[in-house]
């Protein structure tokens, strides 16, 4: 049975006791604790005096005991995800800096303590903020980024509620300060303007950037235009991710001849980046349109490819999965491909397309180790008349087992099926946002001794 390497614990009020018990169980189990790589701890409380909350104090005490177990037991541990709306306790930070200097801490809150800003352990920051508060909080976010001296990974995400299109500014103030040399930059609904992009380009050393991920609502032409002149001067860049707006497919095709369209700018980015330098590419939305550029310029270097189009509520605008011929071209073009993520539509009879399964078992894709399938939840079956999810198209765990069985003869070690969509389409929240748990999940199968098994995962 595959051993779990990640542990996620929710220390909210209703799950506090069970999470505490799970953490203590792991601390007392040498086999489990020796396999742990990432611990994610969540705790949310609207009380400003959260540090005085008894539950918070017990959480800190439990974590201190856990990490005092000794490095010889936590020999594979790497990262603590602090998903807590309050300051990282100095006592916990001290343990990391003193006893485990190679470990890292990922913050999901804006720190206040000066000790955190200079800590070598704090290397990753995620900031999520509502668009209504963005202008108020943005100067604080900018100051935090500029003061975290050892920051390597940054994710900025703006949440927009409702179906109404809203406008907001993401421009940082031109204070003269500099940003740390990031290795990973992820922007979500954080479109960079011409003015903001020019400041950011000048205020940061981009030569260390390995990962650039422009997620939903962050793909801005000004930012792409600013990246192009320096794309061939980013020696570390090895991963590009993009999420294109829903409904852009026809617009992209029509505007192919215009050098300033998103379609042209994205194509130029793939061709301008150092040849055969990209190891991972993720394109969600209109993904097939860019496949020739990826093949032509990065076919030899690519190890991971993710091509996905949203499942939409209309049968008139259904996604078009990769065909068996497309997969044959991918296999012939990317000789070293190890991870492939793609759309596969299951039928109403709950059968997988035979030609696609055949292409996935082809020797052309024998290098694959991990397959991620974006399956259906049956959005097109939904109507305002009251149809309920899951529809008859919704993929089940038995369907995942059937898929795994069909691919048993391949070199795959992991198959992951994601059911439902994360993004909103035409203002309608989808999948992982609001549906029932059995309609919006990821099912993962691992191969062990030539048999597919479901993992045993602690996820309280």
Answer yes or no: is pLDDT of 459 > 50: no
- Confidence category of residue 4, pLDDT binned at 50, 70, 90: low
Total domain count, the chain: 1
Q: Grade residue 282 by pLDDT with cuts at 50, 70 and 90.
A: very high
pLDDT(69) > 80: no
Task: Answer whether residue 422 shows pLDDT above 70.
Answer: no
Which residue did the predictor score with more confidence, 86 or 447? 447
Please check whether residue 417 lies inside any domain of the structure: yes
- Domain-embedded: residue 381: yes
Q: Is residue 407 domain-resident?
A: yes
| pLDDT value of residue 151 | 94
Backbone angles phi, psi at 355, to 5 degrees: -65, -35
What digits encode the pLDDT tens for the residues 83-94? 876 778 888 888
Which pLDDT does position 67 carry in this prediction?
Answer: 86
pLDDT at 338 over 90: yes
pLDDT at 250 over 80: no
13 domain residue, yes or no = no
- Identify the H or E element spanning 195: helix 194-203
Beta-carbon count within 10 A of 232 CB:
14
* Strands 153-159, 122-130: pairing kind: parallel
Residue 127 lies in a domain: no
Least confident of 37-51, 199-213, 220-234: 37-51
pLDDT at site 49: 42
For position 427, what pLDDT does the model report? Answer: 40
Classify 152 in phi/psi space as left (phi over 0), alpha (psi -120 to 50) or beta: alpha
Window from 1-10, 73-82, 366-375 with minimum mean pLDDT: 1-10
Task: Specify the range with the lowest mean pLDDT, choosing from 14-18, 38-42, 256-260.
Answer: 256-260
Closest to 379 in 3D by CA, of 420, 323, 343, 329 = 420
Least confident of 48-52, 196-200, 290-294, 334-338: 48-52
Neighbour-count burial of 143, counting CB atoms closer than 10 A to its CB (0-12 exposed, 13-18 middle, 19+ buried): middle
Task: Name the residue with tokens 């003015």.
Answer: 195
In a domain, 289, yes or no: no
Question: Reduced to 3 states, what is the DSSP secondary structure of residue 119?
Answer: coil
Lowest-pLDDT choice from 24-28, 109-113, 335-339: 109-113
The segment with the largest mean pLDDT, out of 35-49, 78-92, 420-434, is 78-92
The whole-chain average pLDDT of the chain stands at 80
For residue 384, being part of any structural domain is answered with yes
What is the Cα–Cα distance from 170 to 167, expressed in whole angstroms? 10
Q: What is the mean pLDDT of residues 141-160?
A: 91
The confidence band for 398, taking pLDDT boundaries of 50, 70 and 90, is confident
pLDDT, tens digit, for every residue of 372-394?
999 876 655 544 444 454 555 57
In this structure, is residue 5 part of a structural domain?
A: no
Q: With 80 as the cut, is the pLDDT of residue 102 above it?
A: yes
For residues 66 and 36, the answer to whether their CB atoms sit within 8 Å is no
**Which pLDDT belongs to residue 26?**
87
Provide the 8-state DSSP code for 235: T
Is 86 or 187 the better-scoring residue by pLDDT?
Answer: 187
Of 50-64, 340-354, 361-375, the least confident: 50-64
As a whole-number percent, the residues of the chain with pLDDT over 90 amount to 29
Residue with the bigger pLDDT between 193 and 246: it is 193
Quick check: 56 pLDDT over 60?
Answer: yes
> 49 vs 42, 45, 92, 381, CA distance in Å?
17, 9, 19, 48
Domain span including residue 359: 315-460
Q: Does the pLDDT at position 110 exceed 50?
A: yes
In the predicted structure, residue 161 carries a pLDDT above the cut 70: no
Percent of the chain, pLDDT > 70? Answer: 79
State the DSSP string of 385-431. Answer: TT--SS-TT---HHHHHHHHHHTTTSS-SEEEEEES-SS-BTTB--T
Q: What is the pLDDT of residue 15?
A: 77
């Amino acid at each position: 049975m595959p051993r779990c390497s990640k542990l996620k614990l929710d220390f909210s009020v209703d799950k506090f006791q069970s999470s505490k018990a799970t953490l203590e169980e792991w601390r007392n189990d040498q086999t489990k604790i020796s396999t742990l790589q990432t611990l994610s701890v969540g705790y949310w409380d609207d009380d400003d005096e959260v540090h005085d909350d008894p539950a918070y104090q017990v959480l800190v005490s439990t974590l201190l005991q856990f990490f005092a177990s000794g490095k010889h037991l936590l020999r594979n541990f790497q990262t603590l995800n602090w998903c807590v709306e309050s300051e990282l306790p100095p006592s916990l930070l001290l343990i990391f800096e003193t006893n485990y200097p190679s470990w890292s801490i990922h913050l999901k809150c804006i720190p206040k303590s000066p000790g955190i800003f200079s800590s070598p352990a704090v290397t990753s920051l995620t900031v999520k903020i509502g668009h209504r508060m963005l202008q108020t909080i943005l100067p604080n976010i900018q100051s935090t980024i500029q003061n975290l001296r050892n920051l390597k990974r940054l994710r900025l995400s703006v949440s927009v509620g409702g179906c109404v299109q809203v406008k907001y500014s993401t421009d940082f103030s031109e204070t003269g300060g500099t940003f740390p040399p990031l290795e990973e930059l992820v922007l979500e609904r954080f479109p960079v303007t011409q003015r903001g992009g020019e400041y950011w380009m000048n205020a940061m050393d981009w030569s260390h950037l390995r990962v650039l991920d422009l997620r939903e609502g962050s793909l801005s032409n000004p930012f792409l235009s600013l990246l192009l002149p320096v794309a061939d001067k980013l020696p570390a860049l090895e991963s590009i991710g993009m999420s294109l707006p829903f409904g852009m497919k026809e617009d992209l095709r029509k505007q192919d001849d215009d050098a300033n369209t998103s379609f042209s700018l994205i194509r130029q980015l793939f061709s301008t980046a150092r040849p055969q330098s990209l190891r991972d590419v993720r394109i969600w939305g209109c993904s097939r349109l860019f496949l020739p550029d990826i093949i032509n310029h990065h076919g030899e270097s690519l190890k991971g490819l993710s091509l996905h189009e949203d499942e939409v509520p209309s049968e008139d605008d259904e996604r078009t999965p990769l065909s068996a011929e497309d997969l044959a071209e991918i296999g012939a073009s990317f000789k070293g491909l190890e991870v492939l993520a793609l759309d596969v539509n299951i039928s109403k009879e709950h059968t997988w397309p035979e030609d696609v399964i055949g292409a996935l078992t082809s020797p052309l894709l024998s290098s694959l180790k991990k397959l991620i399938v974006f399956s259906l939840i049956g959005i097109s079956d939904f109507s305002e008349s009251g149809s309920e999810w899951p529809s008859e198209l919704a993929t089940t765990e038995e369907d995942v087992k059937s898929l795994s069985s069909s691919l048993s003869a391949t070199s795959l070690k992991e198959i992951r099926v994601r059911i439902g969509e994360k993004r909103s389409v035409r203002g309608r929240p989808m999948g992982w946002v609001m549906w029932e748990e059995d309609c919006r999940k990821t099912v993962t199968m691992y191969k062990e001794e030539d048999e597919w098994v479901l993992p045993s995962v602690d996820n309280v």
